[in-house]
A and B are shown apart, each in its own frame.
Chain A
């Protein structure tokens, strides 16, 4: 089998409720970061997030499904509808065992979970709703998508914090190689409830800056942490032969390379694994560093982690040798949805031959990065590298190529 290709894309993001709206906003540098509105954040030190505030779940799924799901799954319903339409896929045209769903997850349905925990402890065990068991767990989104679209092949769920979206794409490649014809891949997340936010506060990496335009500025000397966001992306992935055979006219990109590594345990004195992930992914794609036209960086926004990523990029590509961008400066870090959204951005960058900007960032010259800031950069793009790091030591890299 040839390398798999992405033929459909669906997006829900803080700065756009569908693929093209989000992409226009991303190219325009329109940020979706703002003061948290899902609840009153005044008592918390972190008050800025990327919320999908205009999202209407009822527009994308019947009320029955909305009632039994958390927002993380509702975003996936919407993104999947869009991705299937984009790829002109009618699931009924496929044998159900030829289709599968593989998503990333990170923290489960935290808002749904907090509501049910509150019922349990304020009203008693009998108050816990029948849907708690299926809405809150990490497999909820894959299960619901599989049932809704009748996709009965080898489904999966991977949790590697923010790196999960790339791991899900790699697992997608594996099941396609074993004979599955079409996979819904990607990830969506909704981490914002009061308990969800407090859980995140404990990692010490969230920005306590209250001005949205200064809260998440990776690679800037003023970087002070990251901003959480919600949403994500779902892709339709299939083999190039299958895509051609069913008359697909527009292929966004080929998934040409992937690698994942894990950082040494703290205190070992050994180097972090991101650079190795980049090198292994390029080797997997049979490409050299000079073949890469743009890097969608992880861009943690934590000074030490920014330095590590900049060093890895300089080591592989040379200083300022490749354009780098962090469009998640407009959305925040979306956890299970984050790397998926970056893959969507890379795919659309290859389609439109334009690099979306990072916003609000004045790159620290010490990082020696050619960071694309403020305005999109039109250039010839054939190969994009997407990087992602998950809290706790996860590193992943994916190489996308224009077809």
Chain B
């Protein structure tokens, strides 16, 4: 046992077409999946843009019973988990299921189903004493977000420790960090870990409207999310899932698994300041980056690419740029930084895992996905944001970061299998 954790399987359901390869092809071409929301009629809302998955659960291979009992978020996770398991080549008949665990990051649970079922049992908001006669039998699995871990455990056959990690918009990173911790401490050999969220529905859209955090470029949805650009005007909600097979290095080697990357460092910090506000100085995100690099025993100037949180809000992108300068020093001006949220939006609890998938694939494919829609420089955001076009690059060390409501800040460091000795 080395106590080292490597990614050996990747599954993705991201905005646009489902599947890992479709996702990579889209982001490496700089194409955007942001569009006018189709999941409901967005006419009455301030922001009417979303990055939606073109997802049909039947075409994606789910059984009728799986479709019936799961929310859209659970369906994404099931499909991504199966793709990751198949990609890893893990033979469950040869594995001890007790040594396989599950961690699923998530922000807002089974939000769409909770809202749809509320409308029915309350007769569209008329009744406070809602009508049990219209209750769907799977309502309990909707209200308990832990059902997302149950679904992934059933899909993968895992019988080790399982949980949902629900630290808001950092959950997608924290679920991977949790998985790595369990592998390092020896509780498991393998974790099926990742995140899922499907928040594009009226109540979540209302929340971001109220906070004025989402983009109002309703006339030009394809170019609505402009991280680090001077004219950025907010985030665009996304949805989707990314799930990984993460395993202990020796375990992966023994079975001859293909290794995408090693997860060498992870850290989470809180701002202790405000539930939705960020200080412009980037302190807490910088601290998370520094702590993750310390755990990885990697110097800041070794980072070849930073996969940004880059949500496209005025506040975040300024805070994040300052965080890179605090934690990486002069190297911040040299390292390419890009935000795939420009293309796939911000899927809250799942985006951290989707961005880790992008980072792992960037190492694997030797290319840096761009920041789409970046055109005008903001004097407060003066780094290299890889505008518009992907770059070929041999990547040995990649940093991915997240930031979210509640003050959560997380950072994870991935390294190329070339560095494994």
Contact = CB atoms under 8 A, between A and B. Distances in A.
Interface of A: 39-40, 43-45, 68, 96-97, 100-101, 105-108, 110, 113-114, 116-122, 124-126, 128-130, 132-134, 137-140, 142-144, 146-147, 149-161, 164, 167, 171, 174, 194-196, 198-203, 259-266, 270, 273, 276, 390-394
Contacts of A106: 144-146
A394 B107 contact: no
Main secondary structure of the interface of A (DSSP, over half): mixed
Contacts, number: 258
A174 B287 CA distance: 19
A129 B35 CA distance: 26
B315 interface: no
A146 B272 CA distance: 5
B345 to A, nearest CB: 17
B147 to A, nearest CB: 6
Given A96-B272, A142-B167, A110 B203 contact: no
B275 A134 contact: yes
A97 B160 CA distance: 31
B379 to A, nearest CB: 29
B109 A138 contact: yes
Given A146-B406, A393-B153, A44 B118 contact: no
A130 B44 contact: no
B163 A160 contact: yes
Interface in B111-130: 114-115, 118-119, 121-122, 124-126, 128-130
Contact of A110 (B44, B143, B160): B143
B15 interface: no
A201 B136 CA distance: 10
A72 to B, nearest CB: 13
A124 B140 CA distance: 27
Contacts of A159: 106, 144-146, 149, 163-166
Given A132-B203, A143-B407, A159-B166, 10 more contacts: A39-B129, A107-B109, A125-B45, A139-B168, A146-B272, A155-B270, A158-B166, A195-B122, A273-B159, A392-B150
Please name the 4 residue pairs, one residue from A and one from B, whose CB atoms are nearest each other, closest first: A143-B406, A121-B125, A392-B150, A133-B207
B284 A152 contact: yes
Given A114-B118, A118-B122, A157-B166, A200 B140 contact: yes
A140 B275 CA distance: 8
B202 interface: yes
30 contacts: A96-B272, A120-B202, A120-B203, A121-B118, A121-B119, A125-B205, A130-B211, A132-B207, A133-B207, A138-B168, A139-B405, A139-B406, A142-B167, A143-B168, A143-B275, A143-B405, A147-B275, A159-B144, A159-B163, A160-B164, A167-B163, A198-B132, A198-B135, A200-B143, A202-B140, A260-B160, A261-B98, A264-B97, A266-B154, A273-B159
A111 to B, nearest CB: 11
B181 A174 contact: yes
B154 A391 contact: no
Contacts of B122: 117-118, 121, 195
A130 B275 CA distance: 12
B178 interface: yes
Nearest to B108: A137
Given A152-B284, A154-B268, A202-B136, A261 B405 contact: no
Nearest to A100: B270
Contact of B158 (A126, A133, A262, A390): A262
B276 interface: yes
B182 to A, nearest CB: 9
Interface of B: 44-46, 97-98, 101-102, 106-109, 114-115, 118-119, 121-122, 124-126, 128-130, 132, 135-147, 149-150, 153-154, 157-168, 171, 174, 178, 181, 185, 187, 202-211, 267-276, 284, 287, 404-408
A130 B138 CA distance: 30
Given A120-B206, A130-B210, A171-B178, A392 B121 contact: no
Contacts of B271: 147, 152
A119 to B, nearest CB: 8
Contacts of B154: 265-266, 393
Contacts of A101: 270
Contacts of A151: 270, 272
A122 B126 contact: yes
A262 B156 CA distance: 12
A45 B98 CA distance: 39
Name which of B108, B162, B165, B408 has the most chain A CB atoms within 10 A of its CB.
Answer: B162
Given A40-B129, A154-B267, A128 B206 contact: yes
Contacts of B138: 202
Contacts of A138: 106-109, 145, 166, 168
Nearest to B283: A152
Contacts of B276: 133-134
Contacts of B287: 97, 152
A262 B135 contact: no
B157 to A, nearest CB: 7
A189 B342 CA distance: 37
B12 to A, nearest CB: 23
A301 B258 CA distance: 47
B269 A152 contact: yes
Contacts of A146: 270, 272, 406-407
Nearest to A196: B143
Nearest to B174: A156
Contacts of A259: 161, 187
B162 A132 contact: no
Nearest to A191: B143
Contact of A262 (B153, B181, B210): B153
A134 B213 CA distance: 13
B157 A265 contact: yes
A393 B162 contact: yes
B405 A133 contact: yes
A117 B270 contact: no
Nearest to B142: A199
Contacts of B140: 199-200, 202-203, 391
